[in-house]
């Protein structure tokens, strides 16, 4: 894991017992402000830190009853809405990945450093501490627009919502990118060639590529998946294959369409079936998100399932709403826990 020697990390302990940064004059660090509450307004915080992985410890609450959520960088959900009683304080922590570009790998760089936004019904931040993560496990995401850190409302990828389900000690590095297939992800130097060198022993790499492999034949698709799996293992990481989320296309009988909805391309390539086959052949953990999202969408039916996607906003049956992405990220969280792919105690239930 990357480490940084940040002299500003001088901690003291308040009467609450939560370690926070001491109020050292900004000029003592070349004009940089300390990495604590002094870097925050009522609704946002900015920290001048280099790319890397950081632990964030927050103390939530104020004089009045409050309810606070935290997002960061490009609309990443980092902490679900958390209530605190009037006069009370609630401590929470999470680990966050800071990189350039901060969102989609082929998108704009975004602002340098770490940006956090405070939301919720009545946000209140009493204190905050930022420190370099020493022992965090990284979860890299390799995927398309249904996974990526979408830059603007109403779009959201499930990878963008996954961090809210993880506690301190696990960080999500979302390198999913809109419009990518297995062919383009391997071929673009800003994608796989950038991700692979960063993989360290013990890191997970979740791979969900299928939506844009519309013209990829089965042999090529299989070979590309095998290349990604081998590349992860070469670095000591652990690959995890993820079948794609379904598209919301119904038959007249209320079931999902066997081709469009279930990701069978025009050449007859059944992408989820190939992913399952590669996982079995190479002893790779599999998260069958196709099966899980199919069951959920069909159980909700034609009308209720619209809320998972952007049907009402964009007549879009492929991309998920914030609500849908959050639900689908919860399905991934459940599988990470069930397959014991993340350390016990690092999964957040709410």
Q: Where exactly are the structural domains of the chain?
A: 41-134, 135-350
Query: What is the dihedral sign for C-alpha 194, 197, 203, 207?
Result: positive
Give the pLDDT of residue 350. 73
Whether 137 and 207 have beta carbons less than 8 Å apart is answered as: no
Rounded Cα gap, residues 189 and 169, in angstroms: 29
Q: Which segments of 162-270 does DSSP mark as H helices, in order? A: 182-187, 192-195, 218-234
Give the pLDDT of residue 220. 98
Planar angle of CA 202, 204, 206, nearest 5 degrees:
165
Whether 75 and 149 have beta carbons less than 8 Å apart is answered as: yes
* Cβ-based neighbour number of residue 41 at 10 Å: 9
Give the pLDDT of residue 8. 32
What backbone torsions phi and psi does residue 8 show, to the nearest 5 degrees?
-75, -5
β-strand partners of 118: 70
Tens digit of each residue's pLDDT (9 = 90 or more) over 197-256: 999 999 999 999 999 999 999 999 999 999 999 999 999 999 999 999 999 999 999 999
* Cis status of the peptide bond prior to 41, with omega within 30 of 0: no
Closest CA to 106 of 214, 1, 185: 185
Rounded Cα gap, residues 107 and 298, in angstroms: 34
DSSP state of 32: P
Give the pLDDT of residue 2. 32
Rounded Cα gap, residues 236 and 195, in angstroms: 13
Planar angle of CA 158, 245, 323, nearest 5 degrees:
40
Closest CA to 160 of 332, 335, 336, 340: 332
Whether 205 and 142 have beta carbons less than 8 Å apart is answered as: yes
Give the SS3 label for residue 81: strand
Give the pLDDT of residue 349. 86
Give the pLDDT of residue 9. 32
Rounded Cα gap, residues 144 and 182, in angstroms: 10
Give the pLDDT of residue 34. 58
Specify the CATH class of 135-350 in words.
alpha beta
β-strand partners of 13: 19
Strands 90-98 and 11-13: unpaired
β-strand partners of 11: 21
Rounded Cα gap, residues 106 and 147, in angstroms: 14
Average pLDDT of adjacent 10-residue blocks, the chain of 350 residues: 32 32 30 77 96 97 98 97 98 97 96 97 98 94 98 96 97 98 98 98 98 98 98 98 98 95 97 98 98 98 98 96 98 97 90
Strands 114-122 and 66-72: antiparallel
User: What's the fold here for domain 41-134?
Assistant: Jelly Rolls (2.60.120)
β-strand partners of 82: 68
Give the SS3 label for residue 306: helix
Rounded Cα gap, residues 82 and 350, in angstroms: 10
Q: Do domains 41-134 and 135-350 have the same CATH topology?
A: no
């Amino acid at each position: 894991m990357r480490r940084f020697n940040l002299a500003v990390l001088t901690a003291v302990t308040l009467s609450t017992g939560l370690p926070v940064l001491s109020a050292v004059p900004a000029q003592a660090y070349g004009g940089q402000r300390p990495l604590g509450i002094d870097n925050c307004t009522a609704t946002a915080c900015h920290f001048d830190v280099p790319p890397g992985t950081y632990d964030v410890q927050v103390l939530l609450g104020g004089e009045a009853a409050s309810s606070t959520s935290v997002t960061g960088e490009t609309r990443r959900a980092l902490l679900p809405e958390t209530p605190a009683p009037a006069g009370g304080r609630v401590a929470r922590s999470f680990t966050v990945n800071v990189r350039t570009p901060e969102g989609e790998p082929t998108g704009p760089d975004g602002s340098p450093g770490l940006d956090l936004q405070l939301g919720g019904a009545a946000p209140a931040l009493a204190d905050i501490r930022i420190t370099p993560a020493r022992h965090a496990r990284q979860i890299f995401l390799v995927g398309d627009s249904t996974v990526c850190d979408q830059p603007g409302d109403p779009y959201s990828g499930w990878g963008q919502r996954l961090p809210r389900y993880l506690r301190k000690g696990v960080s999500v590095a979302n390198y999913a990118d809109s419009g990518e297939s297995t062919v383009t992800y391997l071929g673009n130097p800003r994608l796989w060639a950038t991700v692979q060198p960063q993989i360290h022993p013990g890191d997970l790499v979740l791979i969900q590529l299928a939506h844009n492999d519309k013209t990829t034949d089965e042999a090529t698709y299989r070979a590309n998946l095998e290349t990604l799996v081998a590349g992860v293992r070469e670095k000591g990481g652990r690959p995890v294959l993820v079948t794609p989320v379904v598209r919301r296309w119904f038959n007249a009988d209320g079931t999902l369409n066997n081709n469009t909805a279930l990701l069978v391309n025009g050449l007859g390539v059944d992408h989820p079936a190939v992913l399952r086959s590669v996982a079995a052949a190479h002893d790779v953990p599999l998260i069958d998100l196709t099966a899980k999202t199919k069951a959920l969408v069909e159980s909700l039916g034609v009308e209720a399932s619209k809320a998972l996607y952007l049907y009402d906003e964009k007549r879009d049956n492929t991309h998920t709403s914030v609500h849908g992405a959050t639900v689908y990220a919860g399905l991934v969280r459940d599988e990470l826990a069930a397959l014991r792919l993340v350390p016990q105690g690092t999964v957040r239930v709410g």
